[in-house]
Structure 1
Amino acid sequence: MKKKPFLFLFAAALLSTAALAQHSDKETKEDVARHRAMAAAHEGAAKCLEAGKGEKVCMQELAVACKGLAIGKYCGMRHVH
């Protein structure tokens, strides 16, 4: 059967990808800090909206707070509206 070599290659690729995904302690600490910074930025946006400043203003503030933290200007979080 020709499926076995393909299955073996697929499994090997999957395992090698998993091995690459391991982070060092330093990288893990950086990830934790980044997630906390993103959470703080989103908490600030929530407080801004609660204060009645308006969605446009709050999203601009969120974009500034998230700059360089994550993919996209809203720290990787989008709304449906």
Structure 2
Amino acid sequence: MNRLIFILLLICLGCIIGGFVFDLEHSQKFIGFGVLGLFFVVFPLFIYHRWKDKDFKDYMLTQENIEKMKQNQKEKKY
């Protein structure tokens, strides 16, 4: 998955840079497809890859997590 995301990132960045560097008839389309690929393919894949094994309850501000934070603060002070 890491390699796929990295390859797609390089392809999108290559399209964007190629669109700016080469003065072609369709250079604006290369830039547009590169940006669309980044925002609609690469970023969602990256976010899914980073969060797929995480428990969302650990990041929610619940009463239980507030108590844990208070205990950690007390332990760090002493």
> For this structure pair, what is the TM-score category when the shorter chain's length is used for normalisation?
0.3 to 0.5
TM (norm. structure 2) is 0.39
- Quick check: which has more Rg, 1 or 2? 2
* Relative contact order, higher structure (CA 8 A, sep 6+): 2
